[in-house]
Amino acid sequence: GDVVVREGDSYSAAALSVVLHTRNPYVPTFRSDVRIFLVKSSTDNSKSTAWFGGGSDLTPYYLIDQDIINFHTHLQTMCNTHFPPESITDNDDNTQREQQLSYKQMKKSCDEYFYLPARSEHRGVGGIFFDDLDATENTLDFVRDVAEGWMPSWLPIVEKRGKMEYGDEERHWQCLRRGRYLEFNLLYGESLCMIGWN
């Protein structure tokens, strides 16, 4: 952007979040969000800066390898379409924002973010997580694909697993695992205080 954010600047923010918890324990919980922040200079109304954040991740109750592989393959293909791996280098000239444009880095960011330190485990099988992406035409197209990509990444799993039979034992396990999902949100989620838990 063309403005350095300062006290007194005006800002706008918008976000879309989708969280789908399922009744059938063989269908994983899906979460995705996209957001944009826009800051306008308080000293020069013609100057502004904007950036995107968001992600997408999967939390299965039962690990079915092919479902997880297909989900990650969808995300990797989407990332590689917008940010081809050959266009991203690991040299010192790259900024931090440029380096996070790879699927590998966005997956790593997701794995690090959705980690429960008190239990030494991840909340799910990951996905992608990104923040502070300068708002450009290319990043807007990418964020749009993240927002629209939840159906093609998750629906095939629902169609395959949604009619699988389950009983009380599977539902009990699902409730225990869903409790871990809630635990993460309560203890480590961005919007809540983490004092004393690290």
24-81 confidence digits (pLDDT tens): 999 999 999 999 999 988 888 788 889 999 999 999 999 999 999 999 999 999 999 9
pLDDT of residue 192: 37
Say how far apart CA 8 and CA 180 lie, in whole Å: 40
pTM of the model: 0.85
In angstroms and rounded to an integer, the radius of gyration of the C-alpha atoms of the chain is 19
Which residues of the chain have a pLDDT value below 50? 92, 94-96, 191-198
pLDDT of residue 187: 82
Task: From residue 27, give the alpha-carbon distance in Å to each of 22, 31, 64, 66, 180.
Answer: 6, 13, 10, 13, 16
